Amino acid sequence: MAIPRPAPEQRKWWVIGIVGVLIGIGLATWWGISATRGVSWDNGPFTVNDSRSVKVTFYVTNQDGKPVRCTLEAQDITHNRVGVLTVDLPASHYTTTEYTRTIPTVAKAVTGIVDHCAYR
């Protein structure tokens, strides 16, 4: 049994639909690959030393042998920023590297987090 061919006036919509699906697949593939590249970070445990500092442990992934700059942030109970520390980390070839730094604060912090990391 032969497959019926679409009417001439419907062919352009089939072509537009197929092209649209192919473009969508291409964009989804590009987005998926780009989302897995670059440096990423995870927050680890923190310790509030006193009312003037908090010690933060964090993990940096995908350094790819490049130095990284991270911004650490200490926050108070209302999520206001009470301390910020920018740290330059050395290049690492490990998949994930653990770092610990102490953030000086102007008031008592209740948490310490990584705000952002990027290649230098």
* CATH number reported for the structural domain that contains residue 49 in this entry: 2.60.40
Q: Is the pLDDT assigned to residue 83 strictly greater than 90?
A: yes
Q: Is the pLDDT of residue 37 over 90?
A: no
Q: Are strands 53-61 and 68-75 parallel, antiparallel or unpaired?
A: unpaired
Per-residue confidence (pLDDT) for residue 99, from 0 to 100: 97
Identity of the residue numbered 63: Q
Mean pLDDT of 33-60: 91
**Same domain, residue pair 47 and 99:** yes
Asked, for residue 2, whether it belongs to a domain, the answer is no
* Number of domains into which the chain is organized: 2
* 93's tokens: 């070839």
Q: Residue 41 above 80 pLDDT?
A: yes
Q: What percent of the chain has pLDDT over 70?
A: 98
Domain extent, residue 11, equals: 7-37
Is 1 a domain residue? Answer: no
At 19 the pLDDT is 94
The answer on 56 and 82 residing in a single domain is yes
Comparison of pLDDT for 65 and 32, the residue scoring more: 65
Which parts of the chain fold into alpha helices (H)? 8-35
User: Is residue 15 located within the same domain as residue 65?
Assistant: no
